């Protein structure tokens, strides 16, 4: 039996377009005499489809599209078999009335061969809002070329059942244990598993455990692409019965790869990547797909000369190409000459479009207007926020005028403690590095300016002959430059300390006592907690944040605004 693993990038809700993509894959499978094509979880819909799954006519329409796809495949490619992820209607009076299912297309027809058992409701996932859980495991008995195989079919979370690896606790059901009794020959997992730090390593571990436990090869097929704030990395693979990898597909890229069950010798892995390169690839894919799927061809960035906007500019250039990036410097009287020149030089190195829009005159007009009409002299913080909001207004005007995607440049440290201005620097259609702490921003920029990134820079057609971020930007003390000689450390601890505390609070859910035990001063911890709470209303109005961690401050951060604890 010859499998074709189809690691595809569907567009959420584009049922017809996704069906055409699957039909095109059928053509390629036919050309190499593949027997069985595997596509990811909900491949007809794209993942996550969220409340599109509540639109009844769209659900019904999927069946017509699936019927036509089955006929087209049969007419053009004869006996080819293809799995397609769909939302299956349950015909009863209960809600939710859908299964997250896998349909098998063959001989001009389709049938359901598997339903998802474990429905995740942590982080960004909310599958119990849409789907009902299946009770029993799925085994497909498949006869091809006079050989009969028992294929265990699981869907994404059904594989994540080892609490010692994933650390979330024990599920009430364990499909892998149940499949042991079924004596399957191969375990297949069809997934839409988003990228987060260490996720690729964790996936390998849970998959290896399952393959060894069942003593069968495991085929893992994952979606790629970015949908809103989620980034899917692909990285599909095949393991032998000992849990060792024998095939690896590309990361952050569509890929097709065939495998015959007799093939047990490991292929040479040419796709290994470092953590920094994976983070960069993820963010580039996040920006590229968000722009493409939302209909944007160009991006706009407020370029300050600081490290955050510099990093976002590099990512955007890699994603969309230098000619499609528009950088704008908006200096006030507090911006240093070095910051102005750093912004200009960075744009030159990236070969992006660059303009300067000074805001000093606008700032003066605001100050005079308040004094004359309201006898109101702006306090320091008000003055600083007005500067940011002037810049935000100018950027939104340019974005509206030329249909640019405005990219927000704030990092996770700033979003956490509220060192960002609502309707100012928080403006934008997408927050690119909002899930990267400031210390990680520095790490990624240092990597970009190292020899280790040259291969990557070449792939993205970025300059390989010099530092791309630049030493000036990487080594200057962080500052919003909204006041005279202002530094971030005037009111915050060094980022090496701040980020450690923030990670403890946000990702690790530690309380004051636990953070004290980690060596942090109680007064400082209480101050940081207070800042986080006070900034909650801002984060609820922030643009979508590309998710990289197990706990971003985006859609998976569900802390109320009006709280006391």
pLDDT above 90 (res 127): yes
User: Exposed, middle or buried by CB within 10 Å (0-12, 13-18, 19+), for 434?
Assistant: buried
β-partners of residue 189 are 154, 220
Please state, in angstroms and rounded to a whole number, the distance separating the CA atoms of residues 151 and 274: 34
For 121, residues 6+ apart whose C-beta sits below 8 A from its C-beta are 127, 128
Give the model's pLDDT for residue 357.
Answer: 94
pLDDT on residue 270: 61
Given a cut of 70, is residue 271 above it in pLDDT? no
Residue 334 pLDDT: 75
pLDDT at position 549, please? 94
DSSP string, 428-448: SSEESSTTS-HHHHHHHHHHH
Confidence of residue 401 (pLDDT cuts 50, 70, 90): very high
Mean pLDDT check: name the lowest of 149-158, 159-168, 195-204, 494-503: 159-168
Q: Is residue 8 scored above 70 in pLDDT?
A: yes
pLDDT band for 264, please (50, 70, 90 cuts).
Answer: confident
Query: How far apart are alpha carbons 105 and 493 in whole angstroms?
Result: 59
| Average pLDDT for 258-287 | 87
* Average pLDDT for 166-187: 85
pLDDT at 241 over 80: yes
Nearest to 85 by CA among 226, 217, 223, 275: 223
The DSSP 8-state label assigned to residue 132 in this structure reads P
Summarised one tens digit per residue, pLDDT across range 419-472 is 999 999 999 999 999 999 999 999 999 999 999 999 999 999 998 887 899 999
**Which one, of 352, 369, 426, lies nearest residue 393 by Cα?**
426
**Burial letters 17-43, b for 16+ CB under 10 A, else e:** ebbebbbebbeebbeeebbbbbbbbbb
Instruction: Enter the tokens of residue 459.
Output: 């792939």
In this prediction, residue 269 has a pLDDT band, given cuts at 50, 70 and 90, of: low
The distance of Cα 268 from the centroid of its chain, to the nearest Å, equals: 28
Top pLDDT among 386 and 480 is at 386
Q: Which of 307, 325, 397 is nearest to 359 (CA)?
A: 397
Beta strand pairing status for 109-115 and 138-144? unpaired
Closest CA to 172 of 118, 124, 245: 118
- What mean pLDDT, rounded, does the chain reach? 92
**372 pLDDT above the threshold of 90:** no
- For residue 61 the two structure tokens come to 């329409």
Residue with tokens 């935000």: 392
pLDDT at 224: 97
Alpha-carbon distance of 272 to 263, in angstroms, equals 21
Q: What is the pLDDT of residue 302?
A: 96
Q: Which CATH class is domain 2-264?
A: alpha beta
Angstrom distance (rounded) from CA 145 to CA 17 = 32
Judge whether 516 and 522 are in contact, CB under 8 Å.
yes
Distance between start and end Cα atoms, the chain: 59
At residue 282, the 3 state secondary structure works out as helix
Number of separate helices (H) and strands (E) present in the chain: 18, 19
> Which of the four pLDDT bands, split at 50, 70 and 90, describes residue 565?
confident
Beta bridge partners of 218: 187, 239
| Whether the Cβ atoms of residue 291 and residue 320 lie closer than 8 Å to each other | yes
What band does 481 get if pLDDT is binned at 50, 70 and 90? Answer: low
Stretch among 173-182, 189-198, 229-238, 271-280 having the lowest mean pLDDT: 271-280
pLDDT tens-digit series, residues 322-368: 999 999 999 887 777 787 899 999 999 999 999 999 999 998 898 88
DSSP string, 169-224: ---S--HHHHHHTTT-SEEEEEE--B--TTHHHHHHHHHHHHHHHHTS-EEEEE-E
396 CB-near residues (< 8 Å, 6+ apart): 406, 427
Q: What pLDDT sits at residue 516?
A: 95
Q: How confident is the model at residue 168 (pLDDT cuts 50, 70, 90)?
A: low
Mean of the pLDDT values across residues 229-257? 95
Instruction: Give the pLDDT band (50/70/90) at residue 131.
Output: very high
User: Higher model confidence: residue 398 or residue 332?
Assistant: 398
- pLDDT tens by residue, 64-103: 999 999 999 999 998 899 999 999 999 998 999 999 999 9
Q: State pLDDT tens for residues 290-329.
A: 999 999 999 999 999 899 999 999 999 999 999 999 999 9
Does the pLDDT of residue 268 top 80, yes or no? Answer: no
pLDDT band at 167 (very low <50, low <70, confident <90, very high): low
Q: What pLDDT score was predicted for residue 169?
A: 61
Is the pTM value of this prediction over 0.85?
Answer: yes
- List the CATH code of the domain at 278-488+535-539: 3.40.50.620
Report how far residue 109's alpha carbon sits from residue 68's, in angstroms, rounded to the nearest whole number: 9
Both structure tokens of 561: 């605004």
Q: Which residues are identified as catalytic?
A: 41, 116, 156
Q: What is the pLDDT of residues 38-65, one digit of tens each?
A: 999 999 999 999 999 999 999 999 999 9
Q: Which residues pair with 259 in a beta bridge?
A: 3
Angle at 432 between CA 429 and CA 436, to 5 degrees: 145
CA-to-CA distance for 445 and 395, rounded, in angstroms?
A: 25
Sequence-separated (6 or more) residues with CB below 8 Å from residue 5: 38, 219, 221, 236, 238, 247, 249, 255, 256, 257, 258, 259
> What burial letters (b/e) apply to 372-407, b meaning 16+ CB within 10 Å?
eeeeeeeeeeebbbbbbbbbbebbbebbeeeebbbb
C-beta separation of 117 from 94 below 8 A: no
Between 487 and 143, the higher pLDDT residue:
143
- Radius of gyration (C-alpha) of the chain in whole angstroms: 26
DSSP letters for 101-123 = EEEEEETTEEEEEEE------ST
Over the range 101-140, which residues count as b (16 or more CB within 10 Å of their CB) and which as e?
bbbbbbeeebeebbbbbbbbeebbbbbeebbbbbeebbbb
**Region of residue 312 (left: phi > 0; alpha: psi -120 to 50; beta: else):** alpha
**Closest among 130, 135, 205 to 175, alpha carbons compared:** 135
């Amino acid at each position: 039996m010859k499998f074709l693993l189809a690691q595809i990038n569907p567009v959420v809700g584009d049922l017809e377009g996704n069906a055409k993509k699957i039909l095109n894959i059928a053509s390629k499978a036919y050309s190499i005499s593949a027997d069985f094509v595997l596509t990811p979880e909900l491949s007809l819909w794209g993942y996550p489809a969220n409340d599109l799954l509540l639109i009844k006519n769209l659900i019904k329409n999927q069946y017509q599209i699936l019927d036509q796809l089955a006929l087209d495949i049969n007419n053009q490619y004869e006996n080819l078999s293809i799995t397609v992820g769909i939302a299956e209607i349950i015909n009863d009076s209960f809600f939710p009335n859908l299964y997250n299912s896998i349909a098998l297309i063959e001989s001009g027809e389709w049938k359901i061969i598997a339903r998802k058992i474990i429905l995740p409701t942590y982080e960004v996932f909310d599958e119990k809002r849409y789907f009902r859980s299946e009770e029993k495991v799925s085994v497909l008995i498949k006869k091809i070329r006079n050989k009969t195989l028992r294929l265990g079919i699981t869907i994404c979370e059904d594989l994540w059942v080892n609490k010692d690896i994933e650390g979330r606790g024990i599920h009430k059901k364990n499909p892998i244990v149940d499949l042991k009794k079924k004596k399957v020959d191969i375990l297949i997992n069809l997934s839409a598993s988003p990228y987060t730090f260490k996720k690729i390593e964790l996936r390998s571990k849970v998959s290896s455990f399952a393959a060894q436990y069942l003593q069968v090869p495991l085929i893992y097929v994952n979606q790629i692409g970015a949908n809103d704030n989620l980034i899917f990395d692909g990285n599909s693979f095949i393991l032998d019965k000992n849990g060792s990898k024998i095939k690896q597909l590309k990361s952050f890229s569509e890929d097709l790869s065939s495998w015959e069950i007799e093939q047990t010798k490991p292929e040479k892995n040419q796709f290994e990547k470092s953590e920094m390169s994976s983070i960069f690839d993820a963010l580039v894919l996040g920006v590229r797909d968000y722009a493409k799927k939302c209909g944007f061809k160009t991006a706009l960035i407020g370029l300050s000369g600081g490290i955050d906007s510099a990093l976002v500019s590099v990512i955007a250039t890699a994603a969309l190409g230098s000619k499609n990036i528009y950088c704008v410097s908006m200096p006030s009287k507090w911006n240093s000459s070095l910051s102005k020149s750093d912004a200009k030089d960075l744009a030159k190195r990236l070969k992006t479009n660059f303009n300067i829009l000074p805001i000093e005159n606008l700032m003066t007009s605001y100050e005079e207007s308040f004094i004359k009409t309201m006898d109101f002299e702006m306090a320091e913080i008000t003055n600083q926020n007005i500067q940011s909001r002037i810049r935000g207004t100018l950027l939104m005007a340019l974005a509206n005028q030329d249909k640019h995607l405005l990219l927000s440049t704030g990092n996770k440290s700033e979003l956490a403690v509220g060192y960002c201005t609502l309707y100012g620097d928080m403006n934008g259609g997408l927050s690119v590095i909002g899930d990267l702490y400031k210390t990680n921003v520095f790490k990624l920029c240092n990597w970009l300016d190292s020899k280790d990134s040259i291969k990557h820079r070449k792939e993205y057609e970025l300059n390989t002959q010099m530092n791309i971020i630049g030493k000036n930007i990487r080594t200057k003390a962080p500052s919003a430059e909204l006041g005279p000689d202002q530094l971030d450390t005037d009111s915050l601890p060094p980022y090496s300390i701040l980020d450690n505390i923030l990670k403890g609070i946000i990702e690790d859910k530690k309380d004051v006592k636990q953070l004290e035990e980690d060596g942090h001063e109680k007064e400082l911890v209480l101050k940081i907690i207070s800042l986080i709470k006070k900034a909650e209303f801002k984060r609820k109005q922030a643009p979508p944040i590309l998710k990289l961690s197990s706990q971003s401050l985006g859609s998976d951060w569900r802390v109320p605004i009006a709280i006391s604890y």
